C-alpha cells in the first residue's frame, strides 16, 4: 500500500516542501538534496531532533553555558533530557566543545558545550 | 589623545568580525574592532539554537559556535577586538569617539566599517492599546534573559509575530517548562522559515493563528490577559471575532530596525525603506571611506549572508585604501530603483564597470513570476521564480559585461 504525506524538511534553511510517498519503500519528491530522504525516513520511523539548551555554571563570567546534543536524539526524549540537564552544574572555566554528559539517558548522544565560559576573577 | 588606524570596525557581531578577518587577510592589519558588549559575537551568543553556517561552512552550527569560528580566527590573527567599548559618535572626518572603562578615546581612521546590527521593534512602535503591566518582552530580550542570564520570564505565554526569533522562542520556552498558548500573526502567512514552523511549533502542538493580532493588553502589575482578534485584508480587526487569552507573558517578535544613530550623526543618508545607509556597489555610504554591512545596512534572514556582506565590505575597503580613496568613488552614479512588486534593492547605485551582487525584498508573496532588471525599458536580465516572499531576501549577481552601457536600472516583478 502506498501512502502520501507532505513534509517540510528541517535539515537546512531551504525548508524543502517535500512530497513523501511511503509504504514498502520511501520515495521523496521536491527535495533539493539527498538529506531530505533521510529526514523523511527518520520522521516516519523514529523522529529525531537536535537539542540545544543551557546548563548552569558556577563561578563563571556568565551564569549559563550553551550546550547541544552532538547528534540528534529521539523526539520523545526531549523533555526527559531537559529535566536531566536542569540538575547539572559545571564549575568555570568551561571549555569550548567540552563533553558535559556522555550518552545522555542512553540516547547515544553526548551533550557538549557550544561556547567557553571563563572563570570569574 | 587621538589614535590613528587604517580601519575602525564598529561592532564585533558576525558582520564586523567577518570584515575584520577579511581585512587582515587582504593585508590590512592596522585595524581595531570596537564592541560595546562585554563579549564579541553579537546576537549570536544568545542564539543557542542550531541552523547557522549551512551556506558558509556546509555544516549546521549553533549561534555561539558560528561566532566562535570568527572570534577564534580573529584571536589567532592577533586582531585587536576591544569589548566594553561603546562608540558614541562618528563624524564625516572619520573620527570615532569611544567610551570605555579607560575613559574617553578618539580614533581617526582612513576607513570605517559600520557593523552595528539592529534592534527590535517594541510595543510602542505597534501602538497596542491597554495597560502597561510587567510581562511584555521583545523576543530578543526574552532570549537574552533566558539563554544568557538564567532568568525565566513567565509561565503562560502568547507570542505576537511569527518571525524566526518568535518561533525559536516558542520552542525554547516550551522546553523550559512554559506553556506557549499561541503564536499570533497579523499577516495571512508566516514571516519565519518553513523549517521553524515545523520544528518549533508543530513539534509542540503550538497553534499559529494567521490573520490575527493582539488588540488589547490587560493587567495592572503583571500581565493578566491579552485580547486577540481576526484581521481583514487591511489589517483592521474584524468585529465579533475577539477573544481573551489568559497569560502572564506577551512576547513581541515584530521586526528589526537597523541601529543607525551613529550613521545619522555622521550625516549619512538612509534609505526610507531599509532604514539602512544608501550605498553604492562597494557598500560605500554617501561619505567617502565609510562602508556599511550586515544588519545595520539591511536586515538579513541568514547570518551566512551577513558574514559574506562583511567580507565584501572589507575587500572594498582594501581596494579603497590601495587607491588612496580618490578614484574609488569613481562614477558609481547609475541609480538602481525598486519597481513594481519590489520593496527595495541594494546597492542604490552602480558604476556599470564592475560585477555587482544585488540584494532585495519583494513587497508581498508572488508565485510564478519573473524578476526583471530593466534599463530605459529594455530587459537586460530576467529570472523566473516559483515563489517569492517578503520574508526571503533575493540575491542576484550580475557581471560587469551585463551592465555595460546601462543608464539606470529598475528591478520589478513581471508576468512570467
* Predicted local confidence at residue B325, as pLDDT: 66
pLDDT of residue B113 exceeding 90, the answer is yes
Same domain for A60 and A37: no
Q: What is the C-alpha separation between B72 and B44, in angstroms, rounded? A: 14
* The three cell numbers locating residue B262: 551613529
User: Lowest-confidence range among A11-15, B89-93, B117-121, B167-171?
Assistant: A11-15
**Cα separation of the two ends of chain B:** 61
Instruction: List CB contacts (< 8 A) between A82 and chain B.
Output: 175-176
* Residue given cell 540516547 in the structure block: A107
| Chain A nearest C-alpha distance from B151 (Å) | 10
Non-local (6+) Cβ contacts of B134 within 8 A are B221, B222, B223
Which residue from A10, A63, A115 is facing B64, i.e. has the nearest CB?
A115
Q: What φ, ψ does residue A39 adopt, rounded to 5°?
A: -60, -45
H or E, element range at B253: none
Residue A104 lies in a domain: yes
Q: What φ, ψ does residue B87 adopt, rounded to 5°?
A: -75, 125
Give the pLDDT confidence of B193-205 residue by residue, as tens digits.
Answer: 888 999 999 999 9
Same domain for A57 and A32: no
**Cα separation of the two ends of chain A:** 66
Q: DSSP of B287-311, one letter per residue? A: STTEEE-GGGTS--S-HHHHHHHHH
* Residue given cell 521586526 in the structure block: B255
**B301–A52 C-beta distance less than 8 A:** no
- What CATH number does residue A63 fall under? 3.10.530.10
Indicate the number of domains in chain A.
2
Provide the b/e sequence for B344-376 (b: ≥16 CB within 10 Å). Answer: bbbbbbbbbeeebebbbbbeeebeebebbbbbe
**What value does the mean pLDDT take over residues B309-336?**
84
All domains of chain B in start order, with CATH: 1-120+256-330 (3.50.50.60), 122-254 (3.50.50.60), 331-416 (2.60.40)
Q: What is the C-alpha separation between A5 and A41, in angstroms, rounded? A: 12
Question: Chain A residue with minimal CA distance to B203?
Answer: A75
Same domain for A81 and A33: no
**What value does the mean pLDDT take over residues B24-36?**
97
- Which three-class secondary structure state does DSSP give residue A11? coil
Interface of A with B (CB under 8 A): 8-13, 15, 17, 49-50, 52-54, 56, 61-64, 66, 68, 75, 78-79, 82, 96, 114-115
pLDDT of residue A87 exceeding 90, the answer is yes
Same domain for A65 and A26: no
* Predicted local confidence at residue A33, as pLDDT: 86
Q: What is the C-alpha separation between A114 and A121, in angstroms, rounded? A: 22
**A75–B203 C-beta distance less than 8 A:** yes
**What value does the mean pLDDT take over residues B10-17?**
98
Give the pLDDT confidence of B226-280 residue by residue, as tens digits.
Answer: 999 999 999 999 999 999 999 999 999 999 999 999 999 999 999 999 999 999 9
Same domain for A76 and A33: no
Please give the ipTM for the structure prediction: 0.92
Q: How confident is the model at residue B329 (pLDDT cuts 50, 70, 90)?
A: low
pLDDT of residue A42 exceeding 60, the answer is yes
**A82–B48 C-beta distance less than 8 A:** no
**What value does the mean pLDDT take over residues B34-59?**
95
Interface probe, candidates B45, B63, B65, chain A, greatest A C-beta count within 10 A: B65
- Which three-class secondary structure state does DSSP give residue A48? strand
Same domain for A59 and A40: no
Q: Single out the residue of B123, B182, B185 nearest to residue B156, CA to CA.
A: B182
* Residue given cell 556546509 in the structure block: B58
Q: How confident is the model at residue B324 (pLDDT cuts 50, 70, 90)?
A: confident
Same domain for A87 and A57: yes
Query: Whole-model pTM?
Result: 0.94
Same domain for A85 and A32: no
Residue A121 lies in a domain: no
* Predicted local confidence at residue A30, as pLDDT: 86
Full domain range(s) for residue A40: 3-45
- Which three-class secondary structure state does DSSP give residue B197? helix
Residues in chain B: 416
| Chain A nearest C-alpha distance from B187 (Å) | 20
Q: What φ, ψ does residue B117 adopt, rounded to 5°?
A: 75, -155
Same domain for A89 and A57: yes
Which residue from A8, A61, A79 is facing B194, i.e. has the nearest CB?
A8
* Predicted local confidence at residue B391, as pLDDT: 83
Same domain for A81 and A38: no
Question: Chain A residue with minimal CA distance to B301?
Answer: A13
Q: How confident is the model at residue B331 (pLDDT cuts 50, 70, 90)?
A: low
Residue A118 lies in a domain: no
Give the pLDDT confidence of B345-375 residue by residue, as tens digits.
Answer: 999 999 988 899 999 999 998 999 999 999 9
* Predicted local confidence at residue B326, as pLDDT: 63
Contact, B33 vs B20, CB < 8 A?
yes
Same domain for A40 and A71: no
Q: Chain-wide mean pLDDT for chain B? A: 95
* Predicted local confidence at residue A10, as pLDDT: 87
* Residue given cell 534572514 in the structure block: B301
Same domain for A56 and A38: no
Residue A119 lies in a domain: no
Per mean pLDDT, which of A2-11, A44-53, B120-129, B216-225 is the most reliable? B216-225
Amino acid at each position: 500500500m502506498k501512502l502520501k504525506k507532505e513534509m517540510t524538511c528541517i535539515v537546512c534553511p531551504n525548508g524543502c516542501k517535500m512530497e513523501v510517498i511511503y509504504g514498502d519503500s520511501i520515495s521523496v519528491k521536491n527535495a533539493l538534496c539527498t538529506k531530505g530522504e533521510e529526514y523523511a525516513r527518520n520522521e516516519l520511523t523514529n523522529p529525531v531532533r537536535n537539542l540545544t539548551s543551557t546548563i548552569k555554571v558556577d563561578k563563571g563570567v556568565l551564569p549559563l553555558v550553551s550546550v547541544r546534543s552532538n547528534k540528534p536524539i529521539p523526539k520523545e526524549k526531549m523533555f526527559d533530557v531537559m529535566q536531566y540537564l536542569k540538575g547539572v552544574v559545571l564549575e568555570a572555566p568551561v571549555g569550548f566543545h567540552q563533553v558535559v554528559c556522555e550518552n545522555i539517558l542512553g540516547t547515544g548522544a553526548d551533550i557538549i558545550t557550544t561556547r567557553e565560559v571563563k572563570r570569574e576573577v | 589623545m587621538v589614535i590613528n588606524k587604517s580601519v575602525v570596525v564598529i561592532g564585533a557581531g558576525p558582520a564586523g568580525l567577518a570584515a575584520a578577518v577579511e581585512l587582515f587577510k587582504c593585508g590590512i592589519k592596522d585595524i581595531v574592532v570596537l564592541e560595546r558588549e562585554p563579549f564579541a559575537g553579537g546576537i549570536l551568543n544568545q542564539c543557542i539554537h542550531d541552523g547557522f553556517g549551512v551556506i558558509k561552512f556546509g555544516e549546521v552550527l549553533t549561534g555561539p559556535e558560528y561566532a566562535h569560528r570568527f572570534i577564534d580566527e580573529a584571536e589567532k590573527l592577533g586582531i585587536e577586538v576591544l569589548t566594553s567599548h561603546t562608540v558614541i559618535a562618528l563624524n564625516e572626518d572619520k573620527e570615532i569617539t569611544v567610551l570605555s572603562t579607560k575613559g574617553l578615546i578618539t580614533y581617526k581612521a582612513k576607513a570605517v566599517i559600520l557593523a552595528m546590527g539592529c534592534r527590535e521593534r517594541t510595543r510602542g512602535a505597534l501602538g497596542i492599546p491597554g495597560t502597561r503591566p510587567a510581562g511584555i518582552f521583545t523576543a530578543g530580550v526574552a532570549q537574552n534573559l533566558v539563554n544568557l542570564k538564567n532568568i525565566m520570564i513567565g509561565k503562560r505565554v502568547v507570542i505576537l509575530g511569527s518571525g524566526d526569533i518568535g518561533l525559536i522562542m516558542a520552542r525554547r520556552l516550551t522546553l523550559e517548562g512554559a506553556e506557549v498558548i499561541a503564536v499570533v500573526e497579523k499577516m495571512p502567512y508566516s514571516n519565519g522559515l518553513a523549517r521553524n514552523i515545523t520544528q518549533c511549533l508543530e513539534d509542540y502542538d503550538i497553534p499559529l493563528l494567521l490573520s490575527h493580532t493582539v488588540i488589547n493588553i490587560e493587567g495592572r502589575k503583571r500581565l493578566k490577559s491579552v485580547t486577540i482578534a481576526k484581521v481583514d485584508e487591511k489589517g483592521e480587526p474584524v468585529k465579533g471575532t475577539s477573544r481573551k487569552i489568559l497569560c502572564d507573558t506577551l512576547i513581541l517578535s515584530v521586526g528589526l530596525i537597523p541601529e543607525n544613530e551613529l550613521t545619522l550623526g555622521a550625516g549619512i543618508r538612509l534609505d526610507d525603506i531599509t532604514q539602512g545607509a544608501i550605498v553604492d556597489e562597494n557598500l560605500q555610504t554617501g561619505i567617502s571611506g565609510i562602508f556599511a554591512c550586515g544588519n545595520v545596512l539591511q536586515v538579513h534572514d541568514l547570518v551566512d549572508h551577513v558574514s559574506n556582506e562583511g567580507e565584501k565590505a572589507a575587500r572594498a575597503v582594501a581596494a579603497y585604501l590601495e587607491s588612496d580613496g580618490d578614484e574609488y568613488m569613481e562614477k558609481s552614479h547609475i541609480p538602481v530603483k525598486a519597481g513594481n512588486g519590489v520593496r527595495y534593492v541594494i546597492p542604490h547605485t552602480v558604476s556599470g564597470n564592475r560585477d555587482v551582487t544585488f540584494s532585495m525584498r519583494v513587497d508581498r508573496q508572488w508565485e510564478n513570476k519573473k524578476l526583471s532588471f530593466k534599463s530605459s525599458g529594455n530587459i537586460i536580465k530576467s529570472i523566473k521564480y516559483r515563489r517569492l516572499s517578503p520574508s526571503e531576501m533575493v540575491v542576484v549577481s550580475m557581471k560587469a559585461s551585463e551592465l555595460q552601457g546601462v543608464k539606470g536600472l529598475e528591478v520589478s516583478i513581471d508576468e512570467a
